[in-house]
Chains A and B, each alone.
Chain A
Protein backbone atom coordinates (compact mmCIF):
# COMPACT_ATOMS: atom_id res chain seq x y z
CA UNK A 1 0.00 0.00 0.00
CA UNK A 2 1.21 3.48 -0.78
CA UNK A 3 1.01 4.99 2.69
CA UNK A 4 1.74 8.39 1.24
CA UNK A 5 -1.87 8.44 0.12
CA UNK A 6 -3.17 8.59 3.68
CA UNK A 7 -4.87 11.85 4.44
CA UNK A 8 -3.93 13.28 7.81
CA UNK A 9 -6.83 15.68 7.52
CA UNK A 10 -9.30 12.82 7.08
CA UNK A 11 -7.71 10.93 9.97
CA UNK A 12 -8.01 13.95 12.24
CA UNK A 13 -11.66 14.47 11.38
CA UNK A 14 -12.43 10.90 12.44
CA UNK A 15 -12.81 9.28 9.03
CA UNK A 16 -13.10 5.61 10.04
CA UNK A 17 -12.31 4.23 6.60
CA UNK A 18 -9.12 6.27 6.51
CA UNK A 19 -8.22 5.08 10.00
CA UNK A 20 -8.78 1.49 8.87
CA UNK A 21 -6.42 2.13 5.95
CA UNK A 22 -3.82 3.40 8.39
CA UNK A 23 -4.23 0.29 10.55
CA UNK A 24 -3.90 -1.86 7.45
CA UNK A 25 -0.77 -0.06 6.37
CA UNK A 26 1.07 -0.08 9.69
CA UNK A 27 -0.16 -3.04 11.71
CA UNK A 28 2.66 -5.28 10.45
CA UNK A 29 5.42 -2.92 11.55
CA UNK A 30 3.82 -2.25 14.94
CA UNK A 31 3.34 -5.95 15.66
CA UNK A 32 6.84 -6.78 14.48
CA UNK A 33 8.59 -4.19 16.64
CA UNK A 34 6.48 -5.12 19.68
CA UNK A 35 7.39 -8.77 19.20
CA UNK A 36 11.07 -7.90 18.97
CA UNK A 37 10.97 -5.84 22.13
CA UNK A 38 8.80 -8.21 24.16
CA UNK A 39 9.61 -11.63 22.69
CA UNK A 40 6.09 -12.88 23.35
CA UNK A 41 3.27 -13.12 20.80
CA UNK A 42 0.42 -12.42 23.22
CA UNK A 43 2.20 -9.39 24.65
CA UNK A 44 2.93 -8.16 21.14
CA UNK A 45 -0.75 -8.47 20.25
CA UNK A 46 -1.73 -6.50 23.36
CA UNK A 47 0.72 -3.76 22.41
CA UNK A 48 -0.55 -3.79 18.84
CA UNK A 49 -4.10 -3.11 19.99
CA UNK A 50 -3.05 -0.56 22.61
CA UNK A 51 -0.92 1.28 20.07
CA UNK A 52 -3.78 1.86 17.65
CA UNK A 53 -6.20 2.69 20.45
CA UNK A 54 -3.71 5.27 21.71
CA UNK A 55 -3.20 6.54 18.16
CA UNK A 56 -6.95 6.94 17.76
CA UNK A 57 -7.13 8.97 20.96
CA UNK A 58 -4.08 11.09 20.09
CA UNK A 59 -4.72 11.80 16.43
CA UNK A 60 -6.19 15.22 17.09
CA UNK A 61 -2.94 16.26 18.78
CA UNK A 62 -0.69 14.78 16.08
CA UNK A 63 0.80 17.66 14.12
CA UNK A 64 2.47 15.62 11.41
CA UNK A 65 5.96 16.88 12.17
CA UNK A 66 7.20 13.31 11.99
CA UNK A 67 5.82 10.69 9.63
CA UNK A 68 2.84 8.58 10.70
CA UNK A 69 5.14 5.58 10.64
CA UNK A 70 7.62 7.13 13.09
CA UNK A 71 4.79 8.40 15.28
CA UNK A 72 3.34 4.87 15.51
CA UNK A 73 6.77 3.40 16.24
CA UNK A 74 7.04 5.86 19.11
CA UNK A 75 3.67 4.92 20.56
CA UNK A 76 4.41 1.20 20.13
CA UNK A 77 7.78 1.44 21.87
CA UNK A 78 6.22 3.36 24.77
CA UNK A 79 3.39 0.85 25.09
CA UNK A 80 5.85 -2.06 25.01
CA UNK A 81 8.01 -0.44 27.67
CA UNK A 82 4.98 0.24 29.86
CA UNK A 83 3.98 -3.41 29.57
CA UNK A 84 7.48 -4.49 30.55
CA UNK A 85 7.37 -2.18 33.58
CA UNK A 86 4.00 -3.58 34.61
CA UNK A 87 5.23 -7.15 34.26
CA UNK A 88 8.53 -6.57 35.99
CA UNK A 89 8.15 -3.48 38.17
CA UNK A 90 11.30 -4.42 40.05
CA UNK A 91 13.35 -3.69 36.94
CA UNK A 92 14.29 -0.05 37.05
CA UNK A 93 15.56 2.09 34.25
CA UNK A 94 18.66 2.73 36.30
CA UNK A 95 20.63 -0.50 35.66
CA UNK A 96 21.56 0.48 32.15
CA UNK A 97 21.88 4.19 32.82
CA UNK A 98 25.55 3.77 32.11
CA UNK A 99 24.89 2.29 28.69
CA UNK A 100 26.15 5.46 27.04
CA UNK A 101 29.19 5.93 29.16
CA UNK A 102 30.54 2.61 30.36
CA UNK A 103 33.91 1.47 29.26
CA UNK A 104 33.93 -1.06 26.51
CA UNK A 105 36.60 -3.61 25.85
CA UNK A 106 37.06 -5.44 22.60
CA UNK A 107 38.33 -8.92 23.22
CA UNK A 108 37.25 -10.94 20.19
CA UNK A 109 39.39 -10.84 17.08
CA UNK A 110 38.28 -14.00 15.34
CA UNK A 111 37.41 -13.60 11.69
CA UNK A 112 34.30 -15.72 11.29
CA UNK A 113 33.03 -14.00 8.15
CA UNK A 114 34.21 -16.95 6.06
CA UNK A 115 31.72 -19.35 7.65
CA UNK A 116 29.14 -20.59 5.14
CA UNK A 117 25.71 -18.96 5.14
CA UNK A 118 24.16 -22.28 6.21
CA UNK A 119 26.22 -22.11 9.40
CA UNK A 120 25.74 -18.38 9.98
CA UNK A 121 21.99 -18.65 9.61
CA UNK A 122 21.33 -22.12 11.00
CA UNK A 123 18.27 -22.52 13.20
CA UNK A 124 20.50 -22.71 16.26
CA UNK A 125 22.38 -19.59 15.19
CA UNK A 126 19.16 -17.66 14.74
CA UNK A 127 18.08 -18.54 18.27
CA UNK A 128 21.45 -17.28 19.47
CA UNK A 129 21.09 -14.05 17.48
CA UNK A 130 17.68 -13.39 19.04
CA UNK A 131 18.92 -14.10 22.54
CA UNK A 132 21.94 -11.84 22.09
CA UNK A 133 19.67 -8.90 21.26
CA UNK A 134 17.43 -9.74 24.20
CA UNK A 135 20.47 -9.66 26.48
CA UNK A 136 21.44 -6.13 25.47
CA UNK A 137 20.73 -3.34 27.97
CA UNK A 138 17.31 -1.93 27.13
CA UNK A 139 18.57 1.42 25.90
CA UNK A 140 20.90 -0.22 23.41
CA UNK A 141 18.34 -2.83 22.41
CA UNK A 142 15.68 -0.32 21.41
CA UNK A 143 18.07 1.63 19.21
CA UNK A 144 19.41 -1.52 17.58
CA UNK A 145 15.94 -2.94 16.91
CA UNK A 146 14.70 0.24 15.26
CA UNK A 147 17.85 1.12 13.33
CA UNK A 148 19.39 -2.18 12.29
CA UNK A 149 16.46 -4.58 12.41
CA UNK A 150 13.59 -2.33 11.33
CA UNK A 151 15.79 -0.25 9.05
CA UNK A 152 14.86 3.22 10.33
CA UNK A 153 17.30 6.05 9.69
CA UNK A 154 19.23 7.63 12.55
CA UNK A 155 16.87 10.61 12.36
CA UNK A 156 13.72 8.44 12.43
CA UNK A 157 15.13 6.39 15.30
CA UNK A 158 15.84 9.56 17.26
CA UNK A 159 12.27 10.76 16.67
CA UNK A 160 10.74 7.42 17.58
CA UNK A 161 12.69 7.21 20.84
CA UNK A 162 12.72 10.90 21.70
CA UNK A 163 16.51 10.97 21.72
CA UNK A 164 19.10 13.21 20.12
CA UNK A 165 20.78 11.81 17.03
CA UNK A 166 24.08 11.86 18.91
CA UNK A 167 22.61 9.63 21.63
CA UNK A 168 21.22 7.26 19.00
CA UNK A 169 24.61 7.01 17.30
CA UNK A 170 26.40 6.39 20.59
CA UNK A 171 23.97 3.67 21.64
CA UNK A 172 23.97 2.12 18.20
CA UNK A 173 27.74 1.80 18.21
CA UNK A 174 27.64 0.24 21.68
CA UNK A 175 24.95 -2.20 20.62
CA UNK A 176 26.79 -3.20 17.47
CA UNK A 177 30.07 -3.66 19.32
CA UNK A 178 28.44 -5.74 22.04
CA UNK A 179 26.62 -7.93 19.55
CA UNK A 180 29.75 -8.32 17.46
CA UNK A 181 31.54 -9.58 20.56
CA UNK A 182 28.73 -12.03 21.34
CA UNK A 183 28.56 -13.34 17.81
CA UNK A 184 32.33 -13.62 17.61
CA UNK A 185 32.29 -15.87 20.67
CA UNK A 186 29.55 -18.03 19.18
CA UNK A 187 30.79 -18.26 15.61
CA UNK A 188 34.40 -18.48 16.76
CA UNK A 189 33.52 -21.78 18.43
CA UNK A 190 31.88 -23.01 15.22
CA UNK A 191 34.94 -21.95 13.28
CA UNK A 192 37.13 -23.94 15.67
CA UNK A 193 34.97 -27.05 15.22
CA UNK A 194 35.05 -26.68 11.46
CA UNK A 195 38.83 -26.62 11.42
CA UNK A 196 39.17 -29.72 13.62
Chain B
Protein backbone atom coordinates (compact mmCIF):
# COMPACT_ATOMS: atom_id res chain seq x y z
CA UNK B 1 0.00 0.00 0.00
CA UNK B 2 1.50 3.32 -1.02
CA UNK B 3 0.94 6.40 0.98
CA UNK B 4 1.42 9.49 -1.05
CA UNK B 5 1.45 12.20 1.51
CA UNK B 6 4.76 13.50 2.63
CA UNK B 7 5.46 11.97 5.99
CA UNK B 8 8.54 10.30 7.38
CA UNK B 9 6.75 8.04 9.83
CA UNK B 10 5.05 4.68 9.54
CA UNK B 11 1.77 5.76 7.95
CA UNK B 12 1.82 2.87 5.54
CA UNK B 13 2.17 0.19 8.21
CA UNK B 14 -0.43 1.77 10.44
CA UNK B 15 -3.00 1.99 7.67
CA UNK B 16 -3.12 -1.79 7.62
CA UNK B 17 -4.53 -1.64 11.14
CA UNK B 18 -7.11 1.02 10.42
CA UNK B 19 -10.10 -1.29 10.19
CA UNK B 20 -9.34 -2.94 13.50
CA UNK B 21 -8.81 0.50 15.02
CA UNK B 22 -12.11 2.00 13.85
CA UNK B 23 -13.89 -1.23 14.87
CA UNK B 24 -12.37 -0.91 18.34
CA UNK B 25 -10.67 -4.29 18.26
CA UNK B 26 -7.04 -3.27 17.80
CA UNK B 27 -4.67 -4.60 20.47
CA UNK B 28 -3.91 -2.04 23.18
CA UNK B 29 -0.26 -1.64 22.33
CA UNK B 30 -0.90 -1.14 18.61
CA UNK B 31 -3.80 1.15 19.43
CA UNK B 32 -1.56 3.42 21.50
CA UNK B 33 1.06 3.40 18.78
CA UNK B 34 -1.51 4.37 16.16
CA UNK B 35 -3.02 7.10 18.32
CA UNK B 36 0.43 8.49 19.04
CA UNK B 37 1.07 8.58 15.33
CA UNK B 38 -2.18 10.23 14.28
CA UNK B 39 -1.80 12.87 16.99
CA UNK B 40 1.29 13.99 15.08
CA UNK B 41 0.17 13.28 11.53
CA UNK B 42 -2.65 15.45 10.24
CA UNK B 43 -3.26 13.46 7.08
CA UNK B 44 -3.56 10.18 8.95
CA UNK B 45 -5.92 11.85 11.40
CA UNK B 46 -8.07 12.91 8.45
CA UNK B 47 -7.99 9.39 6.99
CA UNK B 48 -9.12 7.94 10.32
CA UNK B 49 -11.89 10.51 10.81
CA UNK B 50 -13.22 10.30 7.28
CA UNK B 51 -13.12 6.51 7.30
CA UNK B 52 -15.17 6.47 10.50
CA UNK B 53 -17.59 8.90 8.92
CA UNK B 54 -17.80 6.82 5.76
CA UNK B 55 -18.77 3.74 7.75
CA UNK B 56 -21.24 5.75 9.81
CA UNK B 57 -22.93 7.15 6.69
CA UNK B 58 -23.36 3.74 5.12
CA UNK B 59 -24.58 2.22 8.32
CA UNK B 60 -27.08 4.99 8.94
CA UNK B 61 -28.46 4.94 5.40
CA UNK B 62 -28.67 1.17 5.20
CA UNK B 63 -32.37 0.43 5.15
CA UNK B 64 -33.76 -1.76 7.87
CA UNK B 65 -37.22 -1.45 6.43
CA UNK B 66 -39.57 -4.30 5.72
CA UNK B 67 -40.10 -5.85 2.32
CA UNK B 68 -43.11 -4.52 0.42
CA UNK B 69 -46.35 -6.33 1.29
CA UNK B 70 -46.81 -7.58 -2.27
CA UNK B 71 -43.33 -9.10 -2.34
CA UNK B 72 -43.98 -10.83 0.96
CA UNK B 73 -47.31 -12.14 -0.20
CA UNK B 74 -45.85 -13.53 -3.45
CA UNK B 75 -43.02 -15.13 -1.46
CA UNK B 76 -45.46 -17.03 0.74
CA UNK B 77 -47.42 -18.09 -2.35
CA UNK B 78 -44.30 -19.35 -4.10
CA UNK B 79 -43.57 -21.51 -1.07
CA UNK B 80 -47.19 -22.71 -0.73
CA UNK B 81 -47.37 -21.07 2.66
CA UNK B 82 -50.35 -18.76 2.07
CA UNK B 83 -52.20 -20.18 5.06
CA UNK B 84 -49.45 -18.85 7.34
CA UNK B 85 -49.33 -15.36 5.87
CA UNK B 86 -50.16 -12.95 8.64
CA UNK B 87 -51.85 -9.68 7.73
CA UNK B 88 -49.54 -6.64 7.76
Please report A residues at the B interface, Cβ cutoff 8 Å. Answer: 16-17, 19-21, 23-24, 27-28, 31-32, 36, 41, 45, 48-49, 52-53, 56, 103-113, 120-121, 126, 129, 133, 144, 148-151, 169, 172-173, 176-177, 179-180, 183-184
Cβ of B16: which chain A residues have Cβ within 8 Å of it? Answer: 173
Main secondary structure of the interface of B (DSSP, over half): helix
Interface centre among B15, B74, B79 (most CB of A within 10 A): B79
Partner of B19, one of A56, A104, A126, A173: A173
Cβ of B51: which chain A residues have Cβ within 8 Å of it? Answer: 176-177, 180
* Bound CA span A121–B69, Å: 27
The yes or no answer to B18 lying at the interface (CB within 8 A) is yes
The yes or no answer to B36 lying at the interface (CB within 8 A) is no
Please report B residues at the A interface, Cβ cutoff 8 Å. Answer: 1-5, 15-16, 18-20, 22, 42-43, 46-47, 49-51, 53-55, 57-67, 71-72, 74-76, 78-79, 81, 84-86
**Contacts A148-B59, A172-B19, A180-B54; A23 near B81 (Cβ below 8 A):** yes
Partner of A109, one of B5, B53, B58: B5
Cβ of A28: which chain B residues have Cβ within 8 Å of it? Answer: 64-67
* Bound CA span A28–B62, Å: 13
Q: B4, A107: Cβ atoms under 8 Å?
A: yes
Q: A120, B57: Cβ atoms under 8 Å?
A: yes
* Bound CA span A91–B79, Å: 32
* Bound CA span A107–B22, Å: 20
In the complex, what residue of chain B is closest to A115 when comparing beta carbons? Answer: B53
Q: B5, A45: Cβ atoms under 8 Å?
A: no
Cβ of B49: which chain A residues have Cβ within 8 Å of it? Answer: 111, 113
* Bound CA span A108–B19, Å: 18
Partner of A179, one of B54, B61, B63, B84: B54
Q: B57, A176: Cβ atoms under 8 Å?
A: no
* Bound CA span A179–B57, Å: 11
Q: A111, B81: Cβ atoms under 8 Å?
A: no
* Bound CA span A20–B84, Å: 6
**Contacts A133-B58, A169-B19; A109 near B74 (Cβ below 8 A):** no
Q: B58, A19: Cβ atoms under 8 Å?
A: no
